[in-house]
Amino acid sequence: MEKIISNKTISVNEEGYLTDFSQWDKEIGLEIAKEQDIEMTDKHWEVIDYIHDKFEKEEPLSIRGIKKSGVIDIKEFYQLFPGGPLKKATMIAGIPKPKSCI
């Protein structure tokens, strides 16, 4: 389905995740964060950069990976993105919801 966010049309799935990462930019990230009641700080963006880096390298995201990221510890990650930090952070980052699906 399509959604208009900061005057741009983007495609999202039914849960609100972008289906085409090339449509993502920082403003869109900011708006999605607002919808999730998250006010983005530099630390938040650092985490988003880390997520984008993993996404480009096609490396799976996990809570364990966050612990070893050197960017943030898990406790802080939960404070920045309360209630399902990986799900929220990936939605803001414009990438698919991580599958811990095996």
Partner 1 sequence: MKNLVILGAGTSGTMMANHLVKKLPKKDWKISIVDQCETHYYQPGFLFLPFDIYTSKQVKKNGKKFIPKAVEYINEKIERIVPEENNVQLANGKELSYDILIIATGTDIAPEEVEGMKGPKWHKNIFDFYTYKGAKALRNKLREWEGGKLVVHITEMPIKCPVAPLEFAFLADSYFKNKGMRDKVDITFVTPLGGAFTKPRATTALHHLLEEKGISEVTDFAIERVDYKNNKIIDYADTEVEYDLLVTVPTNMGDSVIERSGLGDDLNFVPTNKATLQSLDHENIFAIGDATNLPASKAGSVAHFEAEILTENIVRYTKGIPLKDEFDGHANCFVETGNGKALLIDFNYTHEPVEGTFPFPGVGPLQLLKESHTNHMGKMAFRWIYWNMLIKGVHIPFVSATMSEKGKHFEEEVQ
Positions marked active-site:
101
- Per rule CB under 8 A, is residue 16 in the interface with partner 1? no
- Per rule CB under 8 A, is residue 70 in the interface with partner 1? no
Kindly tell me which of 11 and 74 has the beta carbon lying closer to partner 1. 74
2: which strand partners?
Answer: 11
Q: For partner 1, which residue of 1, 57, 58, 75 counts as binding (CB under 8 A)? A: 75
Phi-psi region of 57 (alpha: psi -120 to 50; beta: other; left: phi over 0): alpha
Kindly tell me which of 6 and 79 has the beta carbon lying closer to partner 1. 79
Q: Which residues bind partner 1 (CB under 8 A)?
A: 13, 62-65, 68, 74-75, 77-78, 82-84, 87, 99-102
